[in-house]
Chain A
Amino acid sequence: MAITKKVKELMVDVFDFPHIPYWFTLRQAIGIVKKSLLDEGKCHHPMAVLVFDEKYNLMGTLGLKDILRGLEPKFMKPTTKAQVPEADDSGLSLVWDTLFDRETAKTAERPVSEVMVPARFFVRPDDPVTKAAYLMVHNELVLLPVLDEKKFVGLVRMIEIFDEISEAIIKI
């Protein structure tokens, strides 16, 4: 089995994804996801928005799950469990339902920087695909930024990484 491809052969353009600055609120991010991705029928998986600072440096990514997590009322966040049995948290969904209008209106005004997944792991264009796969698997990422020197030049997605590795496996 030989996986010889480099990251630059699989990466997608940064402009395939919506961009927002970190000070946008969750409500504004939701509007962009709706307009840019859902209403236009552009299901560019994974559905994610890229979050930048005021100097156009990538700060992180914001996926649909991150947005929903950010909308949760604060007291519903899971606490660190000590030596207690696993609790069935599904009942909490009813609590969220009753508080939806009141609490979620507040949480929707949170800046996206509070709920995004910070961009802490990167690959370079000439890195092997296997390095990208390793970083994505071990850090539970579906998108991985590609930096050339310090410039953000693209992203690799789990789907292309999977496709490349699965091709190699099938050929064994």
Chain B
Amino acid sequence: MIDRDKPQKLYIQLYEILKEKIQSGQWALDDKIPTEEELCRIYSVSKATIRLALSELARQGFLRRQQGKGTFVSKKEGRESVFLNAPFRDPMLDQRVAYTEDIIARTVMMPIEGLEEKLRIPEDWHIVYLKKLFKVDGRPAVVQEAYVPYGSCPALIEAEVSSGSIIDFVEKTCGLTISRVICHFDVKNADPETARLLGIPGGSPVLMLEQRIFSGPDVLMYMNSFAAPAGGGITVDFERKS
């Protein structure tokens, strides 16, 4: 059962409990699991905690959600991946290119549009929001938006962060270590504000790099970078360690 005296977050404890139910077969393949309300009662935790645990189980492939029907146990595919040790750089611009960066916004907000699930935080937590514009040869190249739970690194809003890697700042100032980065590339149509900053027509296609940066089980930062067409692109530099 959930132990509130443990330092481990409640949703992580609940995630482990429910994962064990699936892996032990107590919840069989295609079984419908209890509703969020029932799980709230069973484990005496808030709906936000239940949602965070279920979201992570769904993301990991243990559960699937069917609109209007409920949540079901799913088949977890075994995936053997090739792991590479890669130097992680922020921003992901070609390091041989000289660039400048400006902080456009640094403020505090509440999670909207699913940010709480991406950051695995309760809905009422404050988030530090940072927005940067990178320029190559004086031309706008990348717009970067970063979201960091305020509680992870309050110094991010209090200190003077004029330039440099946000990740470096968080690691050095707040003593947190990055353990994992998940990158997702996509092509999106630029919203009016991003288009304005990049100097391109609204709705133009831009390359989007979505990153979730972990420190242990916690999501330290969620970051989106939008690269302008012909803006130099985004570079991912992998390096196999011997």
Residues of chain A touching chain B, judged by Cβ–Cβ distance below 8 Å, are: 15, 18-21, 24, 28, 31-32, 35-37, 39-40, 42, 52-56
In the docked arrangement, what's the CA distance between A147 and B108, Å?
Answer: 17
The total of chain B residues at the interface (CB under 8 A) is 17
Question: What is the CA–CA distance of A119 and B101 in the complex, to the nearest angstrom?
Answer: 31
Q: Known contacts A21-B129, A24-B112; decide if A35 and B107 are in contact (CB<8 Å).
A: no
In the complex, which of the residues A24, A42, A55 contacts B109, with contact meaning CB atoms closer than 8 Å? A24
User: What residue of chain A has the Cβ atom nearest to residue B104's Cβ?
Assistant: A54
Selected from A31, A37, A40, A52, the residue in CB contact (under 8 A) with B107 is A52
CA distance A53 to B124 in the complex (A): 20
In the assembly, what is the distance between CA of A53 and CA of B108, in Å?
Answer: 9
Cβ-defined contact, B107 with A53, below 8 A = yes
How far, in angstroms, from A56 to B160 measured CA to CA in the complex?
Answer: 12
How far, in angstroms, from A40 to B122 measured CA to CA in the complex? 10
A15 and B109 alpha carbons, distance in the complex (Å) = 11
A36 to B108: give the CA distance in the assembly, Å: 15
Given A21-B107, A32-B112, A39-B123: 18 more A-B contacts, CB < 8 Å:
A15-B126, A15-B150, A18-B110, A20-B109, A20-B110, A21-B105, A21-B109, A21-B129, A35-B110, A35-B123, A36-B124, A37-B124, A53-B107, A54-B104, A54-B105, A55-B105, A55-B107, A56-B106
